[in-house]
A and B are shown apart, each in its own frame.
Chain A
């Protein structure tokens, strides 16, 4: 472990550009690298989503100029092919989950905030940290490469981000090549998809080990566990989740890769499967095994994608309510509760999968109970804003947006958790609505809140508040217009992942809503341009921020913006919890964690 000396390192100027900004070992630069790559992939994922929406709104329509750009040849009717559609939604989900939400939340904010918020000069393992970022890149590149695959329509993986066997896993018999008889895009595209995710998994693993070690070992003097800001708690628990769940996914990915390349049969059932003239070798495995392994990681992954956002939002809400966080300890316990229960609910993705229905009952009860800590968190956020003194900055608006919409996402989860209701709404747009309310409308609002909140600390400049508010306003409206109707079409039974939603009676009933959602989605996409412009404009020409523009309490605001190499001029000493706002009897409405208070009562966070 190489703990840097904690003073301003003028002598570090001799670091070359590459060492400083590319292969940097500085957690702040790595965080910012994660931020940029996450945002770039957000654009890709967004474009893919719009293509999906285009198809759903107007299936079989002649796409004219767009078709020419995307090489939808006249011979294919100048429209998307079903294979391409499958690729688009598969890659949309994969990119958004593995390349956007997880890297942004844990990679960008985790890296940037953890050492700063606990008063450490850097991560425990800076080199590992650098590797964690650079292990993402093979993943990025392989995933992008798969888009350019050969003659296959689509080329890139198209078996859904869940990649269920046997559709995804099946290859030709031994020596028969890597292409799949099941679908054009589960050949090489799928193999690249698997390889890419293995890299991403390794990267996340390195990150989580680093976070855990840093948080346990490198807290500043006085920074007890229960004086840590909730962002750090969120990251801590997330890292633990990742450390325990990721190996399972990695193993599953490796097994499927073996199935596809050297024709092992981990996920292939006994008996020959037939695809017209093509047949496979009889296997000795089970397709459902993959689902267990996959969801054993991917359900906790849902919490990996929300817990850090919850932490960020807690910090932002407390700061801008100028009020101590309501129920700090219950909040921490709730995070732990979510994480703990999160490990035993994976089966709720599999209620209809053909596993023993008795298991379903068990998973159902666990799943229903996981709503409890989420509810506690929501009530505590409401408690924090109650009789606060709210400052509606853009960051605060986004955090409030998170709370408002997380309620929807959380409550709609109850429908799916209920096994009998799930029989009907499983694999319909209801689940799509749910996942987008949790991951887009909640996590992404959390990310936006985090960006607006820490942008000044990252780059020393403030983002434009007016543009930020317009961006929030439009995103909030169009986001709801895009995702809310999904509940209704889901209740009507509209299946997810279908190329043409007008083929059946119950689905064509809601085609108007499909078009409405598509138009809203385009507008939602357009609204993000405001954010992009604001982001880059503020990067260069934003208002100088100063150390603590938000008059916040936590340690990162005690250093200059951006913080120097090594973070703190002197090792900070912490005297109390992070949320001491509006302490009675004090002139100022905030008390930095480093400020020792004499004779003033300081509440729970000690």
Chain B
């Protein structure tokens, strides 16, 4: 809706604005299209087009059947799902408790604890000392090493704390007068009012765990424990051919689907969860949960 004081835009400005927006959107969307199309293409189509397909002519799911019928991709998917679910639960619990613990101004040691959280913004610990700590704790080659070092994000704590502090104080006070302890207040009043921020922060953590590859590369030597992203790096970026290599058994399919579509299918599988949660994230951006918290 154009306010009355604003000039009517010229045709030229309309057209150029639209052109820029369309071009930008295409730049973002095009690579995704290529990946999905190639993963769904049969060997003949790929031979004819020389390896890439922008618009699929036929749908062929053999690449997906091959990698999901057991074998290392299936196992990596399970590892990634497990780490993501467990990690998100740990992160969310620790973050909610810490954010609530810091949400009352003037509580005991409130400023010191807040400083401990905020100072992490200033100085990253560095790869080498982090590795040494994980090693000294005996966590190398454990799934815990993929979760604990990155479990609490100071940024997420600050966002959630900002949200908790905006819960109307009268509600909390009246509950306390009724004799509710802090746990009751948190569980029965604060959390039900904070579903949106819980969803967003939870999804942030989940996406981070799902996407992480460096922690796995750093802390895991045992290839059997590899999550999907590390597998992607080795077989899709590292150039090792996933379908043809002897070290890789896609899992008993009689005739192997084309290497190219298998590789792209692994990429798509790594993308699917992101695409599934994206609409939820999107809805909460719309309500301004995040931006509001960032401003405050």
The answer to whether A and B interact is no
